[in-house]
Amino acid sequence: MTLAIAIINSIAGVVVCLSLAYFLVSMLAGLHENRKLGAKLGAQGDTTYLDPFIDDPETFDVYVMIPCLNEEAVIGPTVAALRGGRRVTTIVIDDASDDATSEIARREGGDSTIVLRRELPHARQGKGDALNDAYRLIRELVEERGQDPARVIVLVMDADGRLSDGAFSHVLPLFEDETVGGVQLAVRIRNRGRNFLTRFQDFQFWSMSAVTQFGRRKTGTVSLGGNGQFTRMSALEGLDALPWSSSLTEDLDLAISLSNNGWELTTTPYASVDQEAVESLKRLIVQRRRWYQGHMMAAKRLPGIWSNPKLSAPKVLELSGYLIVPWLFDLPWSLLSHWTLFMFISRMDSSFAFVSGPLSLILGVLAWYLLTFAPALFTSVVYLRRDSEVGFWRAYLMGHSFVVMNYLSYICAWGALIRIFQKKTGWDKTVRTVEVAAVA
């Protein structure tokens, strides 16, 4: 029994050390990269999302793909904001919607917007299938217009996505580097003030995901997302098949494929994209479970990464670390965290044996707190510096709420694992919330 406890404690120690090291390296790399670029953490904090074409260099032809299924609540303002680009064509992919998505898109998008209507039974086969259908249309348009695929950028946006002011002026120059195949923007949550869940999602995206993405600039392996995803058409054309897979995380699959082909994937601290957060816990669990399942299933790409001579050691290491996070950290820690808590409580007398008075007790509790909540404190500071509207106490509480919200990750990770064993790969769409601007 003693040996079994020792083994479990050793495993827990290894998982804790590895996860903490991965977290610190990712965050510190992001902070260093941000500083190297001469950008402050709060550079994006005060931006608005009204006109992405301010100072647009107009050096590339851009095709925007917006997959839609019953998006009448949000599609109008999204396509309207994209009308100002002279070299921009927006393609709204209506995946057999039952509402007025197509009509609103045509009305608000104007002459620069094309509505690609898909009908059942070929529609509603997943986001990847819808994007590939639109990509075929882009190929035809590029050929008809005599455009150079190397000077064509394909942008994927969600139906509720809005680019920050002047986004094109910060993104397009990055593609002047001929090794860059993709650019992913940081995500800002538009309805972050609605409730605790929406604020927490903003905290995750704005203080953690965005900063670690800055760190991935060092290896050129920035992970692509489904909103604010810019890719060079010639990079997409170099893939063995159509760009977007049937995976539940087709964006991650594309990032791996582009990296395997030797392309650099990057981001910028000066532009971002905002979107709605999920406002109910049930919908959030469904969304995150899908993300976990796609992420976990992407681990099957690891052998191809390890055997690829085009990838440098840092790229292989970063991609491998990112892909094994659910398997190595989330699933094991969902069990081990409770074990370590039990051991700490059951052995509290020995843990605090050094206490000889009030001062030593205070110092002991403080040391325990700093060691236990170090990531929470770190992310609280980052969130505070990233967002000028967030006060100290709100940032502090959001950082500590991450400890509680870990249970959301545990639920979603185990739910995803069960679905993998059951071979369920159905697509669960995120339900939108009607926006006042869209109704008006």
Structure confidence by residue, pLDDT tens digits, 20-58: 888 889 999 999 999 998 998 888 888 899 999 999 999
Give Dmax (Cα) for the chain. 82
**Amino acid 440: pLDDT:** 31
pLDDT over threshold 50, residue 15:
yes
DSSP per-residue codes, 31-98: HHHHHHTT--GGGGTT---S-TTTT----SEEEEEEEESS-TTTHHHHHHHTTT-TTEEEEEEEES-S
pTM (2 d.p.): 0.91
Strand partners, 231: 154, 182
Q: Which of 101-105, 166-170, 333-337, 361-365 has the lowest average pLDDT?
A: 361-365
pLDDT at 438: 40
- β strands within 345-425, DSSP E: none
Burial class (CB in 10 A: 0-12, 13-18, 19+), 129: buried
Would you say the C-alpha torsion 70, 73, 78, 81 has a positive or negative sign? positive
Q: Compute the distance between CA of residue 250 and CA of residue 254 in angstroms, rounded to an integer.
A: 6
Instruction: Using alpha carbons, select from 288, 285, 294, 296 the residue that is nearest to residue 325.
Output: 296
Question: In this predicted structure, what is the pLDDT of residue 427?
Answer: 61
pLDDT tens for each residue of 73-117: 999 999 999 998 899 999 999 999 999 999 999 999 999 999 999
Give the helix/strand (H/E) hosting 374. Answer: helix 374-386
Interatomic CA distance for residues 39 and 41, integer angstroms: 7
1-440: in CATH 3.20.20.70? no
Tell me the pLDDT tens digit for each residue of 67-76. 999 999 999 9
Q: What is the pLDDT of residue 359?
A: 81
**Ranges 16-30, 157-171, 214-228: which has the least confidence:** 16-30
Q: Which residue has the tokens 């994927």?
A: 156
pLDDT for residue 258: 97
**What phi and psi, each to the nearest 5 degrees, are found at residue 184?**
-115, 130
Q: Residue for token digits 């669960």?
A: 428
